[in-house]
Amino acid sequence: MAIAAAVALGALSAAHAADLAGAEVTVNWLYPDTATTFETQSFTVGPGPELTCPGGAVGGGLCGGFQDSSVVDIGANTLSLTITGGDDVWNPAGFNGYEFSGLSAGGPWSGYTLSTDFSGLDASRITFTPDAVFVNMEGIAPTAGESFTISLDAGGPVPEPASWALMILGFGMAGATVRRLRGIPGLSRA
């Protein structure tokens, strides 16, 4: 009985298609706290970078706030920012960073993995929800070429039909065992 259940659980496969391609994702620059939007811009996720900023706070939306030249790229399951030039510091504040929202359109997302070469950026500066990721860059001083990439982990695995059949068989065997044990005289029930 326990073996059948273990085999059934081990046979689950990750048959899901979480993908942000074609979804609308909004990037909010939040400063000086998570309740205040400094700049915002929405993107329909497609191939290539969603935004390339020349630096010097030129243009509207997020580029209007970037002092450094930078690239924002949103992939099928990734969120990334690369500094391509400059060395401006994200000012100290309660929060000075980004919220990537609208992520549930491509989910379900169950977690993330952070890859970065920004000194001081680690998992303690990331807040994850199934629909949004917050990245607190407060006090970080980037240099050209530094970047972060957040890879979103898809939701839990979806069993294939054969796995469902094996699980049902295992539960049926467990039920039959319980029913058989009820008929044994002198067996105390807990």
Domains of the chain by residue range: 2-14+159-182, 24-154
In the numeric block, which tokens belong to residue 158?
Answer: 């979806």
Query: Which of 44, 75, 81 lies closest to 63, judged by CA?
Result: 81
Q: What's the pLDDT at 179?
A: 77
Q: What's the pLDDT at 189?
A: 57
The whole model's pTM is what? 0.73
**Hey, what amino acid is at 184?**
I
| Whether 159 contacts 7, CB under 8 Å | no
In the numeric block, which tokens belong to residue 24?
Answer: 């609308």
Q: What's the pLDDT at 70?
A: 93
pLDDT in 10s for each residue of the chain, 190 residues: 333 333 333 333 333 458 999 999 999 999 999 999 999 999 999 999 999 999 888 777 898 888 889 999 999 999 999 999 988 889 999 999 999 999 988 878 889 999 999 999 999 999 999 899 999 999 999 899 999 999 999 866 666 677 777 888 888 888 888 777 777 766 555 5
